[in-house]
Structure 1
């Protein structure tokens, strides 16, 4: 199951990159609207899938930076 989810994440990321490249080209207004809508849909799908696949998130304590935590364990 994890392999399938990772493959789906990769497919969404590839689609997002493709749509971003397309937006840098000359498009009609209708094409641009379609690509922008598809880009938003792909991003939403990627965010939801990533959250379901990798639900654990770590937050640093308030006021701490990542570099301050290095070596803090002793």
Structure 2
């Protein structure tokens, strides 16, 4: 079970990183909204796992900061 948890954490971190990189590219408004929503979901899930494993799996600050769209909500 622990190995599955580690795999989930790695997948979430990879997804967060990937979505962050995508947001730096040119996207349609619809695509940007979708990716921002997915990024928000991934961050929420990552926070959950970070609380379960606080020492080893903290998110880097630049990946945990809310996007401009999230901040305006």
Q: Provide the TM-score with structure 2 as the length reference.
A: 0.69
Match of 2:49 in 1: 49
C-alpha distance after superposition, 1:11-53 (max 9, x if no partner): 000000100010011000110011001000001011112212x
Structure 1: gaps of 5 or more residues: 57-74
Write out the 4+ residue segments of structure 1 that deviate beyond 4 Å after TM superposition.
none
Matched, 1:38 2:28: no
Larger radius of gyration: 1
> Does the alignment pair 1:16 with 2:8?
no
Distance 1:14 1:55, change over 3 A: closer
Report which of the two has the higher share of helix.
Answer: 2
Find the counterpart in structure 2 of residue 6 from structure 1: 6
Structure 2's unaligned 5+ residue stretches are 56-73
- Cα distance in 1, alignment partners of residues 51 and 4 from structure 2: 15
Q: Distance in 2 between matches of 1:4 and 1:50?
A: 15
Aligned residues: 55
